[in-house]
Amino acid sequence: MKEKTKRTIAFYSMISPWFVVFIIFGLYPMLYGLYLSFTNYYGFNIKHLKWMGLQNYHKAFTDSDAMYSLGRTLYVTAFNVPLSVAIGLGLALLLNRQVRGVSVYRTIFYLPSIVPALASVIMWKVIFSSNNGILNGILSTVGLPEVNWLGYDYATTSLLIMLLWGAGGGVLINLAGLKGIPRDLYEAASIDGATPIKRTIYLTLPLMTPVIFFNVIMGIIGSLQIYMQPILLNGTELLARPIQPNYLYFVHAFQQIFAFQRFAYGMALLWILFLAILALSVVVFTTSKYWVHYETDQE
């Protein structure tokens, strides 16, 4: 056998576990779901599906709940992404300054991001609760007026606070990026008389743009798919409808499917967002050659 044929066989047999599972449990269900989104499937009529064309997709754009939830999702994303990227980078910049005990601080900042979402929601719920809540207890102890943290006016703020608590998870990748900046660049800048603030603005930030860019894109993708935190923050069960301002796009889709059995319409809603995310991903990967650095050349 030729060396090349041998290698091809080796390659395909080694990736076969992924490939077979991907076809059966990834691609097939995905296309099946896409097909269902063009039908009238509502949970009981799997044997008598009717082709509805683009009707579900059309409905999504005229459904006022869907449009409202999309607006709220964009609102949450608009605050969540820049703030969490800034927190991750800011903390990493602090830690990159030859700090004693850096691993302790790094651990503390990173810790909240590994707390299981469910445990995190339970913890924050007790803090925000208006009935026996910790935060209001503290506010009233120090003589400040109590706030209805999970009520209409503050629910989204509370959600953002809870999400941003996990923003320290970005510290690790930012630190890795900062460590990759050659030290002699800083020395050269110092000799030229640049202050630390100037060095940060004119040297560090431009060199960190790949990492920042990556974090922004991944942040947007993640943010658009938030649904469990708002549901659990206000409700006590997974099918509960969150308070109106926290009624996000994925929550809407989840509700359509699991609370109302509108599988076909729910799938259409998900596919619309998926296509939007896919368009974003294409941007990431076509530009990746400008920001991914390999130590050796690819074969």
Q: Retrieve residue 18's tokens.
A: 């992924």
Encode burial over 138-167: b for 16+ CB neighbours within 10 A, e otherwise. Answer: eeeeeeeeebebbeeebbbebbbebbbbbb
Q: Pick the binder of other proteins from 55, 213, 218, 241 (CB under 8 A).
A: 218
Q: Pick the binder of other proteins from 119, 143, 184, 192 (CB under 8 A).
A: 119
Q: Which is nearest to 124 in space by CA: 133, 114, 113, 111?
A: 133
User: Closest separation between CB of residue 48 and other proteins, Å?
Assistant: 15
The owner of tokens 């997709």 is 57
Q: How far is CA 259 from CA 40, 45, 237, 254, 268, in A?
A: 16, 17, 12, 8, 16
Smaller CB distance to other proteins: residue 54 or 94?
Answer: 94
DSSP 244: G
Smaller CB distance to other proteins: residue 67 or 194?
Answer: 194
Distance between CA 93 and CA 204 in Å, rounded? 9
Piece in contact with other proteins (CB under 8 A), picked from 53-61, 65-73, 75-83, 218-226: 218-226
Q: Which parts of 64-216 are beta strand (E)?
A: none
Q: Which helix (H) or strand (E) holds 141?
A: helix 134-141
Radius of gyration of the chain (CA): 24
User: Closest separation between CB of residue 118 and other proteins, Å?
Assistant: 5
Q: Pick the binder of other proteins from 117, 201, 205, 259 (CB under 8 A).
A: 117
User: Closest separation between CB of residue 137 and other proteins, Å?
Assistant: 4
| 73 within 8 A of 229, measured Cβ to Cβ | no
- Annotate each residue in 47-66 with x if it binds other proteins (CB under 8 A) or - if it does not, as one string: --------------------
| 223 within 8 A of 245, measured Cβ to Cβ | no
- Binders of other proteins among 228-257, rule CB under 8 A? 228, 232, 236-238, 250, 253-254, 257
Q: How far is CA 156 from the centre of its chain?
A: 16
Q: Pick the binder of other proteins from 74, 214, 216, 261 (CB under 8 A).
A: 214
- Binders of other proteins among 13-42, rule CB under 8 A? 14-15, 17-22, 24-26, 28-30, 32-33, 36
Q: Retrieve residue 126's tokens.
A: 């007790």
99 binds other proteins, rule: CB under 8 A: yes
Smaller CB distance to other proteins: residue 37 or 156?
Answer: 37
| 72 within 8 A of 155, measured Cβ to Cβ | no
- Binders of other proteins among 165-194, rule CB under 8 A? 165, 168-170, 172-173, 176, 179-180, 183, 186, 190
Q: Pick the binder of other proteins from 82, 196, 259, 260 (CB under 8 A).
A: 196
Distance between CA 260 and CA 178 in Å, rounded? 49
Q: Pick the binder of other proteins from 54, 61, 82, 126 (CB under 8 A).
A: 126
Q: Pick the binder of other proteins from 57, 68, 79, 274 (CB under 8 A).
A: 274
Smaller CB distance to other proteins: residue 151 or 169?
Answer: 169
Distance between CA 248 and CA 74 in Å, rounded? 9
212 binds other proteins, rule: CB under 8 A: no
Smaller CB distance to other proteins: residue 55 or 129?
Answer: 129
